[in-house]
Amino acid sequence: MSHAPAAASPAATQAGALLPDLLPLTAKAVEAADSLLAKAKAAVFAKVAKDGKVSAALVEKEQFAAHGLAWAATYVEALRQLAAYAARMDREGRFGEFEALIVQTAFGEYLTQMTGGIPMSQGETVRPQDLGLSDEDAAAFRTDAVKTLCAAGNTVETRARLAELIGANAGAATFGDTGLEETYDAIRDQMRKFADAEVMPHAHEWHLKDDYIPMEVIAQMSELGVFGLTIPEEFGGLGLGKESMCVVSEELSRGYIGVGSLGTRSEIAA
């Protein structure tokens, strides 16, 4: 189950770990990110289009830029959803220090990477110029909100305070309030109990022997509905949202990644 966020400590406030006006800052940063992404889309389209249509041959030639655009779009959507989460949690009176620091740190890190380079792999970093963006485009992206979050969003003080809060919540199922419905909290609790009882005591032995997951365990997972979480009820599933798969994967993978991955395979197939 989610735990209520710890109250802000005087030390954290004095150290300036938490930015004032975080919600307006994130909203303005998302606007700037949207504008940059729109320019990147246009620039990459110009690279891969022929006669107004996307050319497979040109996409192949410009695959680094195309791949980089996908990463940039994912970053922007992640920031949008984080900002929406923060606003919703604030309206519900559930946006405490823990949640705010997580949002702030994520914005600071993602915006900084969008400015200087997004690491797509250990050997590939996509930078604004790789997407066809000009120096003027990059400069326009660095609005006051973006500069503030880049400079003060993900700092030593912020990370230290987050580590302190994580340490104080040792054993909790989640870090901060996830903002999910009670149904998903109940699912998390059920899967956590299952993983503790049926997976963790045996996981190391399965790993050492390179064994398959026993059919008895898979049968129990089936009974719990793991393999039909998001499938509509008329087709024999539970008809839940994608959040259910995230919650189930987190808890089963905490027990053993081999078990957690079984659920995601069925989700992909579905």
For 141-151, the pLDDT digits (tens) are 999 999 999 99
Q: What is the pLDDT of residue 267?
A: 82
Q: Mark whether 212 and 105 lie in a shared domain.
A: no
Q: Mark whether 208 and 119 lie in a shared domain.
A: no
CB 210 within 8 A of CB 220: no
Q: Mark whether 102 and 63 lie in a shared domain.
A: yes
Q: Mark whether 213 and 97 lie in a shared domain.
A: no
**CB-side neighbour CA atoms (13 Å) of 84:** 6
**CB-side neighbour CA atoms (13 Å) of 260:** 19
Q: Mark whether 91 and 125 lie in a shared domain.
A: yes
Out of 1-5, 65-69, 73-77, 130-134, least confident range? 1-5
- pTM for the model: 0.83
What would the mean pLDDT of 55-71 be, rounded to a whole number?
A: 97
pLDDT confidence bin for 244, thresholds 50/70/90: very high
Please identify, among 111, 144, 168, the residue that sits at the C-terminal boundary of a domain. 168
Q: What is the pLDDT of residue 13?
A: 43
Number of compact structural domains in the chain = 2
Q: Which residue do the tokens 């992909």 mark?
A: 268
Q: Mark whether 104 and 19 lie in a shared domain.
A: yes
Please identify, among 168, 190, 209, the residue that sits at the C-terminal boundary of a domain. 168
Q: How many CB atoms lie within 10 A of CB 140?
A: 15
CB 6 within 8 A of CB 165: yes
Q: What is the pLDDT of residue 198?
A: 96
Distances (CA, A) of 160 to 12, 22, 98, 155, 164: 9, 19, 12, 8, 6
Q: Which domain holds residue 265?
A: 182-269
What would the mean pLDDT of 214-241 be, rounded to a whole number?
A: 93
pLDDT confidence bin for 16, thresholds 50/70/90: low
φ and ψ of 179, to 5 deg: 80, 10
Q: What is the pLDDT of residue 3?
A: 41
**Average per-residue pLDDT in the chain?**
92
User: Tens digits of per-residue pLDDT, 106-125?
Assistant: 999 999 999 999 999 999 99
Torsion of Cα atoms, 260 then 266 then 267 then 268, to 10° = 110
Q: What is the pLDDT of residue 268?
A: 83
> Which residues does 80 contact at the CB level (< 8 Å), separation at least 6?
30, 33, 34
Question: What is the number of residues in the chain?
Answer: 270
pLDDT at 15 over 70: no
119 by DSSP, 3-state: which? strand
